[in-house]
Amino acid sequence: MSRIPHLPKLLLIMVLLAPAVSLVAPGNVTTAAAQEPLEFVFEGGGWGHGVGMSQYGAKVMADEGFTAAEILGHYYTDSTVETLTMPSTEPDAEIAPLRILLADRSGSATLSLENDSSTPDNYIKIEYGTPFVSETDELGRSVVFENDGSPVTIDAIGMNLTINDVAYDGLGGQVLTVHFPTPMKISGVGTFLWGKIEFSIAKSGTLRVIESNLDMAKYLYGIAEIPSSWPVAALNTQAIAARTYAVSRLSSRRASSGWTTNFDLYSSTQDQHYIGWAGQDQPIEAAWVAAVDNTAAQIATYEGEAIEAYYSSSSGGYTEDSDYVWVADLGYLRGVYDPYDLTQENPNSTWNRTYSQDTVSRWMSGKPDTDVGTVLSMTFVEDNFGVSGRTDRAKLVVVGSERTIEVTGGRVFSRFNAAAVGEGSYVSMLPSTLFTINGSGDTSPDPAPTPTPTPTPVVHIPSGSSNTYSRAALDPLEPGPGEVRVRGWSFDPDLPTFPQVVHVYAFYDGSDTPVALDTPVVLAASPRPDVNRALNVGGNHGFNRRLAIRPGTHKVCVYSISVDGTGATDDLNRLIGCRTVTISAEALPAGTYDSISRTGNEVTVSGWAYDLDQPSASVDIQVYLDGSFSHSISAAVPRTDLNDILDVTGNHGFVDTFTVTDGWHDVCLYVVGIDPGGLPDGQTTALGCK
C-alpha cells in the first residue's frame, strides 16, 4: 500500500504493485500519422491506489470534528468498529506473536546496542538452531555467542551464516536468533527493541532478517504511516485501520496453503510501513503510541469479519472501487466522493508532470510490449475509467514511429514509474492513475456533443433560494447482451433533498447524433448513503437502471437536468460523463481471478470462468506474462459451489502452475467466450492482472 510520501522505497513499491494490462491483439495494430508533440503533460490527483481510506482526507475529517468511527465509516462503506473479545487486560498482546520481514539483503549486517555497553546485563546473545522453538526447550538450540554489548557482524556467505567470520550451516532453515535487552541497531535495516531478531539464508548470499515474537501492540507502535502531530481522531483512525489490516492479513495468510514464507507481514508498504523502535523513540511519537493503546483490540468489520483496510496517502477527491484497481469486488471498498482530501495542505490532491517526447519514447521503449519507437501521440479511446476517473483499465492508443499499440492507463503508469526509478528520477514518477494527458501533444478526446435534453416531467416541489449547477458522478457502465446498466448519483444544490432527472443518450457507432435511451425517464431516487454522508445532504440521489441499447460499440453519455427553486429547468444542465461500451447480441464470458501465489520460480493462479452462451461447457483462459501471451489453460476443474450460485452445470474452475524467471512479473488472465455452437466467438473478458 502507498502512504504519506516519505521514502524512495515507498515509491518503488508503488511501481512493483501497479497493475499492468494488455497488448493490443495481433491484427488490431495500426499505424497513423501524427504531428510530433514536443511534450506530454499529465494532470492528475491523488497519491497511491486510491482504494479505501485517504490519509489526508482522514486528517481533514478529524480537524472538522469527526470521530474515528465516522471517518472509517465514510471510507469503508457499511463498516462497523468492533472490539475483539480478549480475556487479557492487554488485548493486543493476545493475538498470536507476529513475524515481520525486515529485509532480504546481500552483504553483512552489523549489530550494535544503542545504550552504554558498560551497563549491567547489556549484551548481545545469539542462539543457533531450528527456528520456531522456545529458548528453554530441548531441541538442540544452543547459545553460540554472547558478548558485552560490543558490535557484532553477521553475514551470508553462500549458504553459510557467519558471526564475526565464524561460519554456521544455513541449510535446512537453520537460523541465528539474537536476544538484546536494549535498543539494537542493525546496519542498513533499522533499530529495534521488542521481540527477537532472526537471521537466516533467503537464497545463496542473501541474508533474511525477521523480527519475531512481536505482539500486536508493539508492532503497531512501530508503524510509521502518518505524522504523530496530526489530530487525535486521525491517529486513532490510522491505528484502527493498521490493526484491522494486520488482523485481516494474518487471518488469510495463516489459513492459506499458498502462503509458504516464514513470516507474516512485510515491513515495507507492500503491507504497512514498519520501522520498529525508530517509530516510538521520540517524545512527539508518544501521541501515536497513545492512539494504539486507546484503540486496543478495535478493528473495522463488515458483516462481522475484519475488513481488508486498504488506505493510501491521497484519493484526489474520489476513492476507487476495489474491483477496478484489483479484482475482488468487496462491498466495503466502494468508490466514494471525498471532498475532505481536496485540502491545500495535501501536496498531492492535484499534480502535474511534464515529459519531453524523448523521455516518453525512452521510457516506453523499456519493455517490448510498450515499445513503439518515437512516441507521436497518446489518446484515450475507451472510456473504461473507474468511478473516480482513474485510468487503470482505460485503454489508450499510443502512436509511434514504428507501430501503434493499445495499452491501459495502468500499464503506462507502471512503465513510466519503473523507468523513472531505474533512472533515479523519483520526482518524475506519476503519483497515481488518476490522470489526463494534455499539453502541446494534446491527446485528450474531443468532448461529447451536448444534445438538447428532452422535456423534464413537472414535479411539485417547494421554492428554493439559489440557482446552481448539479453535483453528480457516473459509475462504470455495465454492458450486457442488448442492454447497459447505468449507475451513479446526482443532486441539485437548489433542492438538495429532492430526486433529480437524469437523461441518457447513445451515440451509435461513432455518430454525432444522440439517441435517447431513457424511456421511461431515469430518476436519481435510489439510496446512496455514501453521497449523503460525504455531501451532508438528505434524500435519495442514486440512479441504477438497465436500458435497452442495440449491439455495437457506442458512446453513452449521461446528463443531469438542473432545476431552479421552482422546479423548472434552468439551463444549467451538466454532462455527468461519457463512457464507450461494446454491446453484444451474445452474452459476454465472465469469471474471477481468485488468487496468485509463488514458490521459488513457480507461479500458481486460480479462479473460475464460464460463458452463458454455453453454460455447461468449460472455457479457455489466456495467460499473459509481462504483457505477452504465455499459454492457454482450460477452466475445467469442478467447482460445485459456483454451480449452485450461478445455476449452471459442468466444470468452471481453473488452477494452473507455470515457471517464471527471477524478479517481479505481471500475470494477466483473459477468458475466451464461446458461441451457442461451442466455438470461440471472438469475445474476451479481462479477469485482471496481479
Q: First CA to last CA across the chain, in angstroms?
A: 14
Q: Quote the pLDDT of residue 24.
A: 35
Q: Quote the pLDDT of residue 140.
A: 45
Is the pLDDT at 353 greater than 90? The verdict is: yes
User: In the predicted model, what is the mean pLDDT of residues 634-649?
Assistant: 76
Model confidence over 488-522: pLDDT tens digits? 888 877 777 777 888 888 888 878 888 887 655 68
Q: Quote the pLDDT of residue 443.
A: 40
Q: Quote the pLDDT of residue 679.
A: 65
Topology, domain 590-689: Immunoglobulin-like (2.60.40)
Q: SS in 3 state form for 42-55? A: EEECCECCCECEEH
Q: Quote the pLDDT of residue 230.
A: 95
User: Is 590-689 the same fold as 471-583?
Assistant: yes
Q: Quote the pLDDT of residue 78.
A: 93
Q: Quote the pLDDT of residue 345.
A: 85
User: In the predicted model, what is the mean pLDDT of residues 570-586?
Assistant: 73
Please provide the average confidence, as pLDDT, over all residues in the chain.
Answer: 80
Give Cα 398 to chain centroid, integer Å. Answer: 25
Please tell us whether the domain made up of 471-583 is placed in CATH 2.60.40.10: yes
User: In the predicted model, what is the mean pLDDT of residues 324-343?
Assistant: 91
Non-local CB neighbours of 292 within 8 Å, separated by 6+ positions:
92, 217, 220, 221, 239, 243
pTM of the model: 0.60
DSSP conformation letters of 482-535: TEEEEEEEEE-TTSTTS-EEEEEEEEGGG-SS-EE--SS-EEE-B--HHHHHHH
Q: Quote the pLDDT of residue 15.
A: 32
Q: Are 330 and 316 in contact (CB under 8 A)?
A: no
Q: How many separate helices (H) and strands (E) can be counted in the chain? A: 11, 40
User: In the predicted model, what is the mean pLDDT of residues 566-579?
Assistant: 65
Domain ranges in the chain? 8-45+350-438, 53-91+218-341, 98-214, 471-583, 590-689
